[in-house]
Amino acid sequence: MEHITETPTAKGPAERFTGDVYLNMIETPTDPANLAAALVRFTPGARTNWHSHANGQTLYITDGVGLVGTRDGNVVRVSAGQIVKCPAGEEHWHGATDTTLMAHIAMVVGVVGGDGTTWLEPVTDTQYDHALTAQRKAPPSRAT
C-alpha cells in the first residue's frame, strides 16, 4: 500500500490552456498500466486547447458546470457526477462555462514514454462563445 497525503497543485501551462486552470496529479503513467489521472480545476471561462488522446480519455465531473466539445460542433454541458468518454484520436476540448467553475478527474491510458496526448491550437473565443450559446438553447442533459 502507498498512502499519498498530498500532491502539489500546479498551474496549467498557457500553451495548453486558456484562462486559469489548476492541476493535481493523481497518477502518472508507469508500466504496466500507464494510467495518467489528474484532478483539473477550471475557473469560469477557462478551457483546454483542442487535443486528442492516442487511447481516448475519460472525464469524471466532480464539481461545477462545464462544456466538452468536438471538432464536428457537438458540445455537451456537464455537471457533477457525469462522465464523458472521448474515443481514441477524437479532437476535443473541455472547460468551465463563463459563469461557473468546473472540476473533473481526467483519466487516460498512456503510451510508452508519455500519456499519448497530442496538444493542438487554442479554442478561439468565437468557438467558445458559439458553444455557450448552443448550450443555453439546448435542453438540459442528464447523467447516464
Taking only the tens of pLDDT, the chain with its 144 residues reads 989 888 999 999 999 999 999 999 999 877 777 889 999 999 999 999 999 999 999 999 999 999 999 999 999 999 999 999 999 999 999 999 999 999 999 999 887 777 889 999 999 999 999 999 988 876 655 544
The answer to whether residue 93 is domain-embedded is: yes
The answer to whether residue 48 is domain-embedded is: yes
The answer to whether residue 135 is domain-embedded is: no
| 8 A C-beta contact, residue 42 and residue 96 | yes
| 8 A C-beta contact, residue 83 and residue 57 | no
Cell of residue 57, nine digits: 480519455
Query: Which spans in the chain are helix H?
Result: 125-137
Give how many domains the chain has, as a whole number.
1
Burial class from Cβ neighbours inside 10 Å (0-12, 13-18, 19+) for residue 26 reads: middle
Domain housing 106? 9-130
CATH of residue 64's domain is: 2.60.120.10
Cell of residue 143, nine digits: 447523467
The answer to whether residue 144 is domain-embedded is: no
Q: What is the pTM of this model?
A: 0.91
CA distance 26 to 106: 9
| 8 A C-beta contact, residue 139 and residue 64 | no
